[in-house]
Amino acid sequence: MNTLAVVGLQWGDEGKGKIIDLLSKDQDYVVRAQGGHNAGHSVIAEKREYHFHLIPSGILYENVVCYIGAGTVIDPASLLIEIQNLQNQGIDLKNRLKISPYAHVIFPYHRRLDQLQEKGEIHLGTTGRGIGPCYEDAVARRGIRIGEWIDPTTFKKRLQPLVALKNRIFQQYDEAEIDSNALFEEYEIFAKELSPFVESFEDHLDQEILKGKKILFEGAQGALLDIHFGTYPFVTSSSTSSSGLAVGAGVGPSRIQKTMGVTKAYTTRVGNGPFPTEFSQDELSLFASHEIAREFGTTTGRKRRLGWLDIPLLKEAIRINGATSLALTKIDVLDSLDFIKICVGYENVSRPPVFHGEWSNIKPQFETFHGWKKSTKEIKKVEEFPKNVRIFVNRIESLLNCPIEIVSLGPERESAVFLK
């Protein structure tokens, strides 16, 4: 099988960046096709730490060409900073980074609208980076795509009525209006800087798949944030599933032959929304600190909420994504615990609810496991796993009925064991 999707099975932050980096060395192409710079992937390679928000993590390998697909929304200023940071770290992007002209552009008015909406009745806990309002414009068929933006004549023609529309909204909030001419001048400069990267690659990508080239499709965020099947309305604005990846990349779903789902050995989420297995204060006091566990959002820096592994939610995520294997991350964070819990079901319902109001009635049923009380960070092969690690991992695999292919034992590239 020459094509693989790597997707998150929780509320994002599962460690996808590390797994994608680990698998990218054998790939010809890595494709990102969902979300925007609200996503964050961290990779530690050769004692250097890299942070990605829109550029695929596979860019660290010289042999890999990276694509940013039509399903993404792009903040030009943020992307240019990300490009510059990588170049400052010695990463050559020339002829290795391509941006689809079908992707949509995030403008300052999108960010302002996002922040204003967060002050409304439903506080979703978004990153405030304009992702949702940009997708709103795309769906309403009034957005500006990359291909239009890099053509000055078309850009100016499209921008003026849009700014007028947004200014009418800002007037309702007693907010200062956007200067259309100033915005055009600023973003025309960004367009000139990014235009060398813009290329319609979708047909070429499909041809490369048919030739047997190795393609990795890089998921963003996680299944529980999916606009359709996540914990709505506390979700993101795109489809975060493997099928959403195919749509965003411009290929048919059958082109993705294998899907690896990534999950932590426990659960986290950033922002508001339901979280059935979230730790009590007593449990939180016994868990590793946020600093030790590295549980701060890559994009926002916010502390992540922490809780036990939730099997019913993972089963839903595996089904939605058609996951064929799993990567289990951050086992090492559990090293100091006397006991570890797994939610194996809910007392009063057979499956996760559909509607937001029903989440408050969820009562998790737990199985409790003895901890291993020793460091796993230096483990290089399966035979070195402590007995209680093997019991824990085998139980997760059995409950999910999906093979665990990789176990990650730390943030570094080399801290991983391939089980299969």
- Residues serving a catalytic function are 13, 41
| Dihedral, CA of residue 242, residue 245, residue 249 and residue 253, to nearest 10 | 30
Instruction: Fill in the amino acid letter for 248.
Output: G
Q: Are 51 and 60 in contact (CB under 8 A)?
A: no
Residues 198 and 74: their CA atoms lie apart, in Å, by 12
Q: What is the residue whose two structure tokens read 């961290």? A: 42
Q: What is the residue whose two structure tokens read 């995030």? A: 106
**Strands annotated E in 183-324:** 215-218, 258-264, 267-269, 305-307, 309-310
| DSSP per-residue letters across 180-223 | HHHHHHHHHHHHHHHGGGB---HHHHHHHHHTT--EEEE--S-G
- The pair of structure tokens assigned to 380 is 């290089």
Q: Enumerate long-range contacts of 396-403, CB under 8 Å, 24 or more apart.
A: 396/265, 396/309, 396/311, 396/328, 396/342, 397/326, 399/311, 399/342, 399/344, 400/311, 400/314, 400/315, 400/318, 400/326, 402/261, 402/318, 402/323, 402/324, 402/325, 402/326, 403/325, 403/326
Write the DSSP symbol of residue 408. E
Q: How far apart are the first and last CA of the chain?
A: 15
Count Cβ atoms below 10 Å from residue 207 Cβ, excluding itself. Answer: 10
Q: What is the residue whose two structure tokens read 């829109």? A: 54
